[in-house]
Amino acid sequence: MATWFGNAALLALAFALPLAAADTPLTHAQALKAITQPAAPARLAGVERLGDIGTMADADRLVARLADADAQVRQAAEVAMWRIWSRSGDAAIDALYQRGVRQMQASEWNEALATFSAIIQRKPAFAEGWNKRATIYYLLGEYELSLKDCDEVLKRNRNHFGALSGYGQIYLNQGEFERAMTYFERALKVNPNLPNAAAVIRWLEQQLDEMRRRTI
């Protein structure tokens, strides 16, 4: 691990994870145990390891770490969850997924749309395929199609704070402030670290208050 810890923290980590040698990756069971340890370095090690090997069920277990007392653990938990969500369990689908991500990064929207549509057709249980296509539809201004894909994401991944934020952004763009606020609040409840989400909610509350006063 890149971060240096004091001797006391290292000692605590060693006692918390007695089965793991210093240079041996944690097993799945050890990583799950580590994320609940009192010492932040132990929790961080467990979170990062689950990012490497974790399953969708493990991503749900990491939700609690998004509200961890340690900022490093919180950040690592978010990264780990995205990494887990981006693995389908099928090497061919994962390769196709990476192609779609590269196409998105190059702003090749039509090509990326075709790629993620192919992923959805081949493995509809893979929630992140739906999420990436929802993102593309949003960027193309196809809001209703994006919302439909967000529905599919949440059917498969109830804690997907990205999709919840996506709902909020679409409803905000459409001027549906109450619905937007509901989804931003849901996203923030899952992941308290979302940038600007709290500020957007406060702004929406102000707008809704002003709208109510005008109707009195």
Mean pLDDT of all residues in 155-178: 97
pLDDT > 70? residue 17 = no
pLDDT band at residue 23 under the 50/70/90 scheme: confident
Could you report the per-residue pLDDT of 44-85, keeping only the tens digit for each? 999 999 999 999 999 999 999 999 999 999 999 999 999 999
The encoded tokens of residue 10 equal 């290292």
pTM of the model as a whole: 0.87
Q: Which residues contact 119 (CB under 8 A, 6 or more apart)?
A: 88, 93, 96, 97, 100, 126, 129
What class, spelled out in words, does domain 88-144 have in CATH? mainly alpha
Q: 7-85 and 88-144: same fold?
A: no
pLDDT > 60? residue 179 = yes
Cβ–Cβ under 8 Å, residues 208 and 181: yes
pLDDT > 80? residue 8 = no
Lowest mean pLDDT among 5-14, 77-86, 179-188: 5-14
Q: Which residues contact 131 (CB under 8 A, 6 or more apart)?
A: 85, 149, 150, 153, 157, 160, 162, 163, 166
Domains of the chain by residue range: 7-85, 88-144, 159-216
The CATH T-level fold of domain 7-85 is Leucine-rich Repeat Variant (1.25.10)
Separation between Cα atoms, residue 172 and residue 67, nearest integer Å = 26
In this prediction, residue 22 carries a pLDDT of 55
Mean pLDDT of all residues in 129-142: 98
